[in-house]
Structure 1
Amino acid sequence: MTKPDFTKMTRKELKKYIFSHPREDEAIRELFINRRNPNVQVFPYPQNMPYEEIEAMLKSKLNLDS
């Protein structure tokens, strides 16, 4: 059996294929890496911030302060 050409599939077809073949790395790579939105907002990891500060910041953003 030959694999379909993932580059020619629509996003909807690709999602359906991945749902029925969840271990198909080539299809997953096509959908989530090759077709990612080039305008997506990226949040870089703050390199010089202590872990505790990052944790507190994330908790406050997610309203997990207790």
Structure 2
Amino acid sequence: MAVEYEGRGHSDPLQIERDISREEDYLHGGWTQVRISKRHMDNDARAAVAKVRRALRDSGWTGCN
């Protein structure tokens, strides 16, 4: 699993191309990508944690409540 924070710099056209390429690499490698933005970090990052936990559970990991 890869967790990525999408900040302001990710709206640059060159960065978008790099992000797409990296996402394709993750997919071909069998990885799950979890993308986090600034809004996920509000409220003590509860939304970010929920996204990561959900992705872990969806992949079969049983170590999180």
Which TM-score band (shorter chain)?
Answer: under 0.3
Higher strand content, 1 or 2: 2
Higher relative contact order (CA 8 A, sep 6+): 2
Identify the structure with the greater helix proportion: 2
Greater CA radius of gyration, 1 or 2?
Answer: 1
Q: Give TM-score scaled by structure 2 length.
A: 0.25
TM-score by length of 1: 0.25
